[in-house]
Amino acid sequence: MFRKIERTTVMNILRCGLFLVVLYLIQGVILPWFSFGWTPLLFVPAAVGIGLFTDSGTGAFFGLFAGIFCDFALSRPTIIFTLALTLAGLLTGYLGDTVISKRFVPYVSLCLVFLLAAWFIQVFPLLFFRGAAIQDMLPSAILQLITSLICAAIMYPVLKRLARKMMRT
């Protein structure tokens, strides 16, 4: 009825959990000390990378927990990043399985798309409910995007290796 959980499955879950805890500590504890009105988003490239380098199921599962950690790290009371990063992991996993190569340039391109979507998620209430001007938010958005893409490039080998260990089993 129930199959025995393999040791490698447990190790994969522990690796991903440890990676998410490290990202949470960086995103939620360390980076707020250095923010200048913006902070790079680390969980978006993580969800995109795991989704792209593994498969859609693993990407969605990892994206779900990355979104939960992201919501906590950014002190968001909603579950919007939980839903968005689950969808990001699912879509990038599907694209990686079907049409996109699992290399650096497609990874950064997908990170750019989903980081822009994350920026829109962040500013949507300000734009439409509080009447803020978009030109006031663009400088911090550009800085957040650039630093997030730099962090995505730094995380690339780590994500690639983590995904390779997960897919080896």
| Domain limits, the chain | 7-167
State if pTM tops 0.75: yes
Residues composing the chain: 169
Closest C-alpha among 85, 8, 9 to residue 49: 85
Query: What local confidence, expressed as pLDDT, does residue 165 receive?
Result: 86
Burial of 96 (0-12, 13-18, 19+ CB in 10 A): buried
For residue range 6-54, list pLDDT tens digits in order: 777 788 888 888 999 999 999 888 888 876 778 899 999 999 999 999 9
Q: Is the pLDDT of residue 1 over 50?
A: no
For residue range 45-103, list pLDDT tens digits in order: 999 999 999 988 889 999 999 999 998 888 766 788 999 999 999 999 999 999 998 99
